[in-house]
Homo-oligomer: A and B are copies of this chain.
Amino acid sequence: MRITALAGGVGGARFLRGLLHHLERTGDEAAELTVIGNTGDDITLFGLRVCPDLDTLLYTLGGAVDEGQGWGRADESHHVAAELAALGATPTWFSLGDKDFATHIYRSQLLAQGMPLSGVTARLASRWGLPDRRVTLLPMTDTPVETHVVLDEGDGSRAIHFQQWWVRHQAALPAERFVVAGLDGATPAPGVLDAIRAADVVLLPPSNPVVSIGIILGVPGVRDALRGARAPVVGVSPLIGGRPVRGHADVCLRTIGVASTSEAVAGLYADFLDGWLVDDADPMAGRMRPVVTARPLLMSSLEAAADIAGAAFDLGVRLAAKDSAT
């Protein structure tokens, strides 16, 4: 059983950790999971390349994440950042711990030596034992891309890095649109299209549909691969009661002129979505196209995340069986 998932940061990582837990507790350990991670929120800080979503996936799946934050390393210290601040280095609004700095130093060194991001990511994944669990983490592209936010200041002339908007301003600065520098010319990282084409089930975790999943879908070739995939594509709504559990998906949706509803999000995936998991109270519950399953969607624990991921996976398996029966 080959499972391929597209994922952003915290929500995607927790969902996928739940999926692995589900597969292990059901004895389905022969399953292979390929995760295609968003790199649009990558940023160069202090000359070091930081990949927030890939790192959150690595740390979470590797059992090393700070559970309280949902990102960064557990048992972390901040001596490097404090000293950089004392030196007058900027920015100071992006928190980087000491162990986390090691990841960025190592990644930057390997990139500078000419290794593509996918190669670097494979190295980092080894440190976290992902190959032993049959998990492959791929960046969506090896091409450096960066999501920028054009601020809604009337003339569309000022854009800031997505991280500055998201982390520093907590998505509170009115945004006009998102622009992904480099995305047009980006090519999918080696293995990305194959992972979609060869999958038995494709999953979309409850990641941000605009700045996480939406960015991955923007890599030339990815959307076409999903449309043409033989496997069913099953997504999990990122909204409960019209609001994201964490993050600012509602603000991002509003920015692109889309309503904060599960139905509207499903509409963003309409050309390839086969199954859709929504919360119990969601008005979409019971809809037939895509096939909608309703259940509690709050990932309040590892077990809860495993239940949700298991439900999405099972829906995918059912849809695949149905498809092969017809």
Contacts and interface: CB of A to CB of B under 8 A. Distances in A.
Interface-central residue, A77, A89, A105, A123, by most chain B CB under 10 Å:
A105
A284 to B, nearest CB: 44
B109 A83 contact: no
B47 A87 contact: no
A102 B123 contact: no
Contacts of A108: 47
Interface in A79-112: 79-84, 86-89, 98-99, 101-103, 105-106, 108-109, 112
Nearest to A77: B79
A87 B103 CA distance: 8
A124 interface: yes
Contacts of A88: 123, 127
Copies of this chain, count:
2
Given A77-B79, A80-B80, A99-B79, A86 B127 contact: yes
A240 interface: no
Contacts of A179: none
A89 B109 CA distance: 10
A12 B89 CA distance: 28
Contacts of A101: 80, 83, 101, 105
Interface string A29-60: 00000000000000000111000000000000
20 contacts: A46-B106, A46-B109, A47-B105, A77-B79, A77-B98, A79-B98, A80-B98, A81-B102, A82-B99, A82-B102, A86-B127, A87-B102, A87-B106, A87-B124, A87-B127, A88-B123, A88-B127, A89-B106, A98-B98, A101-B105
Interface of A: 46-48, 77, 79-84, 86-89, 98-99, 101-103, 105-106, 108-109, 112-113, 123-124, 127
Given A77-B77, A79-B79, A87-B103, 14 more contacts: A46-B105, A47-B112, A77-B98, A79-B98, A79-B99, A80-B80, A80-B99, A82-B102, A83-B99, A83-B102, A83-B103, A84-B102, A87-B102, A98-B98
